[in-house]
Amino acid sequence: MDITAAVATELGGEFTLQHVVLDDPGPGEVVVEIAGVGLCHTDLAAKDGHLPFPLPGVFGHEGSGIVTAVGESVTKVGVGDKVVLSFNSCGDCRECRRDEPAYCHEFMAYNFGGARPDGRSTLHRDGQPLGSEFFGQSSFATHAIAHERNVVKVPGDAPLAVLGPLGCGVQTGAGAVLNSMDCQPGSALLVLGGGSVGLSAVLAGAVRELAQIIVVEPHAGRRDLALALGATHALDPAAGPLADQVRAIVPDGADYVIDTTGIADVLQQAMQALAHRATVGIIGVPADPEAALALNLIQAQVLGVRVIGIVEGDSDPDVFIPELLELHRTGRFPFDKLVTTMPFSRINEAVAAQHRGDAVKIVLVHDGTQELS
């Protein structure tokens, strides 16, 4: 079918809206008419070459919408169902069989490979294949092919257009607190970075009833938002040494640290603010793929520090996204306060606005007036 997609043609370049052709769904696949799609740092990191993906291609991995067609053998959803799209996984490896799809052995191939597992693209332009299947969806488009494994049916009364970030950024931050680190009530959490992932961690920290939720963020507006969402303290990194600022609040140090910045120096400073038996969760994607953390071995042993990498908040989307939606329904997880909507046709303006810090999480919604390049 003919659709409109935001195509990235060169590393670091802008998106251009173009007519492209979307395949019919194959076995296990579904076609989704996209209502909204979140703009995520991972999309831009891949577009700029920090993560692997073939160009020209179509990004977008926080889509939500309505199923318009299903392929052979699909039973989980049907035409007309409202769905959130999440990351893809193989379903066959050891971790997938353990219901830990975020650590699928084929994660990179299924989410960054640029084509179906058999090598065929789902998208074409002028008869040539485009990089597709980004996180099993490539939802910077009016329609996307996803898979039975990475669509999650949501209630009919859910605010569909803004649900996409649940599929990645929101579930990553919230899952880090509720799943990966299982932060205990009454403990102290230090969040490095006040973007959508960090602020989702703040929301989850409030749900878990943590005693201190400390956010480190250079943008004053995001510090204010963090406090409004449940943070107990919001620190400006320019105000003084990070460890000193944190220990002025919790003299024994933070029990849990979440890094969403991907900046090794920031995390290195936070390592001086750890409590005994602290857990450090690494989420942020570094600009330098060779970035490394220097771990003081004696400190790590004396304190009993645990450092863990976190992908997608250790989430099983079929289980976790409905849990987050229920928390939202009861007013305990207002993730929609992170969202600013912009027309899909203004995707390049949205990228600039998010880079400036004008918005925490931009969701691109289809306005029906896309201008093609």
Give the CATH number, domain containing residue 74. 3.90.180.10
Does 227 lie in the same domain as 123?
Answer: no
Tens of pLDDT, residues 10-64? 999 999 999 999 999 999 999 999 999 999 989 998 999 888 899 999 999 999 9
**Domain-embedded: residue 329:** no
Give tens-digit pLDDT for 281-302. Answer: 999 988 888 889 988 999 999 9
Asked if residue 73 and residue 22 are part of one domain, the reply reads yes
pLDDT at residue 368 in the model: 55
CA 119 distance to own-chain centroid: 25
Predicted TM-score (pTM) of this structure: 0.94
Q: How many domains does the chain have?
A: 2
Residues 12, 157 within the same domain: yes
Show the domain range for 236.
172-311
Residue 323 covered by a domain: no
Longest dimension (CA), the chain: 63
Q: What angle do CA 227, 193, 223 make, to 5 degrees?
A: 25
Q: How many CB atoms lie within 10 A of CB 213?
A: 28
45 in the same domain as 154:
yes
291 and 177 share a domain? yes
- Find the CATH number of the domain harbouring 247: 3.40.50.720
Radius of gyration (C-alpha) of the chain in whole angstroms: 20
- Classify 300 as helix, strand or coil: helix
Residue 317 tokens read as 């989307």
Residue 326 in any domain: the answer is no
205: how many CB neighbours lie within 10 A of its CB? 31
- Whether 325 is covered by a domain: the verdict is no
List the pLDDT tens digit at each of the 373 positions of the chain: 999 999 999 999 999 999 999 999 999 999 999 999 999 989 998 999 888 899 999 999 999 999 999 999 999 999 999 999 999 999 999 999 999 999 999 999 999 999 999 999 999 999 999 999 999 999 999 999 999 999 999 999 999 999 999 999 999 999 999 999 999 999 999 999 999 999 999 999 999 999 999 999 999 999 999 999 999 999 999 999 999 999 999 999 999 999 999 999 999 999 999 999 999 999 998 888 888 998 899 999 999 999 999 999 999 999 999 999 999 999 999 999 999 999 999 999 999 998 888 999 999 998 654 444 4
